[in-house]
Amino acid sequence: MQNVSAPSVGRPRSGARRLPSASARDEILDAAAELFAQRGYAATSTRLIAERVGIRQASLYYHFANKEQILAELLEATVRPSLEYAATLADAEPVEALHALVVFDVGVLLDTRWNVGILYALPEIATAPFARFREERQRLRYAYRKLVVKCDHPEILADLVFGLVESVIGMRRDLDALPGTEILQQTVAAAALRLIDRTPSGPPSSRNLSGRKVREEQHR
């Protein structure tokens, strides 16, 4: 009896692959991030995302149930690494830990291939599909609050630091050219400490590393 293989999902992709070494799921996320950031979330359909990858919609739905799920995963990827890194700073001196977290967090926001952070303000983010993203972003905000100690109105100052970190999203959107990642990391971190009127007593080993470099070290 002749063996009949199961049908593949969709059709062979058209054209060259976006990210030759990546999985199909990652290629979909990459295409969606580009379209969401450049065209806007509302103006981007799953059909358009699939076309950008070079696959059919059926193939996209094999990996993601809908457009909301794609955006949720992209947004969570902008906060989860920093949240995990914050947990490693539990035993560090607060000012040193704050400096290190700012450096790392700015690196995460700048190292993403597409500026997904500009989508934080979408009204859709307040809906149910994005509940986990909102929860994780709030947990990251609380991580900053824990590190702003012995200050007047520490919660307000911590939220100002949090906003200062996320200001690089707007800089990335609005400026034709940005200084290097490490320059921005150090500048924002120094500004954060001035904001709370503190200075570090000694550099942690991660201070001069970009978010990407620290993440590489963590996964070795």
Q: Taking the CA atoms of 18, 129, 121 and 86 in sequence, report the sign of the dihedral they define.
A: negative
Instruction: Kindly state whether residue 3 falls inside one of the protein's structural domains.
Output: no
- Statement: residue 11 has pLDDT above 50: no
Q: Same domain, yes or no, for 143 and 36?
A: no
Q: Same domain, yes or no, for 59 and 113?
A: no
Q: Same domain, yes or no, for 191 and 142?
A: yes
Specify the pLDDT at position 45. Answer: 97
In this prediction, residue 20 has a pLDDT band, given cuts at 50, 70 and 90, of low
- Statement: residue 93 has pLDDT above 60: yes
Q: 83 near 136, Cβ under 8 Å?
A: yes
Specify the pLDDT at position 13. Answer: 53
pLDDT in tens, 47-74: 999 999 999 999 999 999 999 999 999 9
Alpha-helical (H) ranges within 2-127 are: 24-39, 46-53, 57-63, 67-87, 94-111
Residue span of the structural domain in which 48 resides: 24-64
Q: Which of 58, 52, 110 is nearest to 81 (CA)?
A: 110
Q: Same domain, yes or no, for 30 and 125?
A: no
Query: Considering the entire predicted model, what is its pTM?
Result: 0.81
Instruction: Kindly state whether residue 177 falls inside one of the protein's structural domains.
Output: yes
Among 111-115, 131-135, 148-152, the range scoring the smallest mean pLDDT is: 148-152
Instruction: Kindly state whether residue 96 falls inside one of the protein's structural domains.
Output: yes
pLDDT in tens, 29-38: 999 999 999 9
Q: 54 near 13, Cβ under 8 Å?
A: yes
What is the four-CA torsion angle of 46, 52, 55, 58, rounded to 10 degrees? 0
What would the two tokens of residue 38 be? 């450049």
**Which of 44, 64, 84 marks a domain boundary?**
64
Q: 27 near 41, Cβ under 8 Å?
A: no
Q: Same domain, yes or no, for 183 and 88?
A: yes
**Which of 35, 64, 93 marks a domain boundary?**
64
Q: Same domain, yes or no, for 83 and 47?
A: no
Between 17 and 206, name the one with better pLDDT.
17
DSSP 117: G
Q: CB atoms < 10 A from the CB of 118, how many? A: 18
Q: 200 near 96, Cβ under 8 Å?
A: yes
In this prediction, residue 4 has a pLDDT band, given cuts at 50, 70 and 90, of very low
Q: Same domain, yes or no, for 82 and 136?
A: yes
- CATH, residue 40: 1.10.10.60
Q: Same domain, yes or no, for 166 and 188?
A: yes
**Is residue 176 exposed (0-12), middle (13-18) or buried (19+ Cβ within 10 Å)?**
exposed
